[in-house]
Amino acid sequence: MTIHVGNMPTKDNPDNLALFNKQVAAFQKLHPNVTVVGEETKFDPQTFAALVAGGSMPTTMQVPYTNIQQLALNGQVRDITDLVKGDVMLSKLNPAVAKQTQNAEGRTFGVVSAAYTMAFIYNRALYKKAGLDPDAPPKTWDEVRENAKAISRASDAAGFMIATTTNSGGWILTTMAYANGSTIQKREGDTVKATIDAGGVKDALTFLHDVRWTDQAAGKNFLMSQDDMRNAIAAGRIGQTVLGADLYRDLVGNRDMPGADLGIAPLPQSAAGIGTLGGGDIAVASPKASAGEAAAAMEWVKFRYLGRFLDKQAAVEWAETSKAGGLPVGAPEVPLFSPEIYDRYLSWVSGYVNVDRANYKAYFASLGTLPILGEPPVAAQETYALLDAVTQQVLTKQDADIPAALTQLQTDAQALIDATQ
């Protein structure tokens, strides 16, 4: 039997590619009836439907949290409930992340292979320059606003700013809405309703408006993609923002930001806050895979992505490869297994940890207390695209009518949902 597996590291990442090939050889030794063929195919929302329809989707590949519910609804990923039921390894997964792979009926459509939460990101060096304590990140949005003003007074950096284009504005606004007490969609039985006109969205937009216009602490560039934002953070041009807590690897490993300057803390909450948005990667199986191919693919997924948390040799090999490639070991992430299993994994790789984990004590502590909420279940990316516009509007128009904008967005978002359900 031959299975095709996506997300193979590219040749410009030789250390990780070597580890991948080593894992393929070891897996095939354990499963001599299975041949693994690696492919560099990665998820692209613009081409995924054609990939599935054309029969060229690998037997397994990773998709983001954002899209899993819609892909399941569309029948573009395989229902693997019968494959994961009773599995010894998968039964140990962190329930908070495992539930992201399930639909409202409890059917399972993938296996989480990496997880993070949206977090408060800040520049520790800019905090020091502004006379702020980098070891005491803000817990409320009022504190974020005060710190933004201090950073803007002490430097040329924006005190607080978010990415606002390519769906990132909507994604981050949704996160900030959660922190202010509202979701943007609500499931009622078999239907999903838009809830964009709820109070949390309005409070988040009002915060952005006030930082920009009242405090003059949002900088000068209000049309930034997530890639722009990451470059700006790494270059010290942004003091505070909201992004995924998994960005240490990218900012420090790829964009040359000093690790000591990167602050990652729990997402601040208002009194009504209900938690933070979860994100990550989910390994799925092709809907056109046979039962045997899907079963082999899930065995590969467990071996490739989860084995290092349960097997000391796999953990050490992963840590050695990452450190040799200049990548972080011990950076913030959501544990895929119980705290006890994750702590044991950390003890195995302790000799390779190259991240000052003391800087992220508050974030690590929050993982056991701050609720992790899922993505909007229907048309998430399309809804985020709608919300991009309103984040740009409040940052570029001082007289932006937020209630009127939300009323229109509520209508438009519900139309998107109705067209999809």
Is residue 266 located within the same domain as residue 301? no
pLDDT higher than threshold 80 for residue 128: yes
The answer to whether position 334 is within a domain reads no
Is residue 293 located within the same domain as residue 258? no
pLDDT higher than threshold 80 for residue 380: yes
Q: Of 167, 69, 118, 65, give the one whose Cα is nearest residue 387.
A: 167
CA distance 243 to 265: 11
The answer to whether position 173 is within a domain reads yes
Is residue 131 located within the same domain as residue 264? yes
Of 309, 328, 358, the residue at which a domain comes to its end is: 309
Is residue 86 located within the same domain as residue 137? no
CA distance 9 to 66: 22
Range of the domain at 83: 2-108+279-309
CA 67 to chain centre: 12
CA distance 121 to 115: 17
The answer to whether position 390 is within a domain reads yes
Q: Of 107, 14, 20, give the one whose Cα is nearest residue 303.
A: 20
The total number of structural domains that make up the chain:
2
Mean pLDDT over 46-53 rounds to 93
Is residue 58 located within the same domain as residue 165? no
Is residue 84 located within the same domain as residue 44? yes
Q: What is the pLDDT of residues 262-317, one digit of tens each?
A: 999 999 999 999 999 998 999 999 999 999 999 999 999 999 999 999 999 999 98
Q: Of 303, 367, 373, give the one whose Cα is nearest residue 333.
A: 367
pTM of the model: 0.89
Is residue 381 located within the same domain as residue 251? yes
Contact by Cβ (8 Å): 231, 254 = no
Look up tokens 């006890």; give the residue.
340
Contact by Cβ (8 Å): 366, 333 = no
Of 287, 309, 331, the residue at which a domain comes to its end is: 309
Contact by Cβ (8 Å): 36, 24 = yes
Is residue 131 located within the same domain as residue 250? yes
Mean pLDDT over 325-340 rounds to 90
pLDDT higher than threshold 90 for residue 413: yes
Is residue 43 located within the same domain as residue 71? yes
Q: Percentage of the chain surpassing pLDDT 90? A: 82
Which position has the higher pLDDT, 421 or 156? 156
CA distance 121 to 236: 12
Mean pLDDT over 172-181 rounds to 98
The answer to whether position 356 is within a domain reads no
Look up tokens 């969609």; give the residue.
185
Is residue 88 located within the same domain as residue 166? no
- Of 141-155, 165-179, 187-201, the range with the lowest mean pLDDT is 187-201
Q: What is the DSSP string of 118-179?
A: EEEEEEHHHHHHTT--TTS--SSHHHHHHHHHHHHHHSSSBSS----STTHHHHHHHHHHHH
Is residue 86 located within the same domain as residue 123? no
User: Dihedral of CA 256/276/371/266: which sign?
Assistant: positive
Look up tokens 């992790």; give the residue.
372
The answer to whether position 316 is within a domain reads no
pLDDT higher than threshold 90 for residue 322: no
The answer to whether position 314 is within a domain reads no
Contact by Cβ (8 Å): 116, 246 = yes
The answer to whether position 331 is within a domain reads no
The answer to whether position 126 is within a domain reads yes
Q: In the beta sheet, which residues pair with residue 60?
A: 5, 285
Q: What is the CATH number of the domain that holds 95?
A: 3.40.190.10
pLDDT higher than threshold 80 for residue 421: no
Is residue 138 located within the same domain as residue 223? yes
When pLDDT is cut at 50, 70 and 90, the band that residue 91 belongs to is confident
Q: Which pair of tokens denotes residue 358?
A: 């003391």
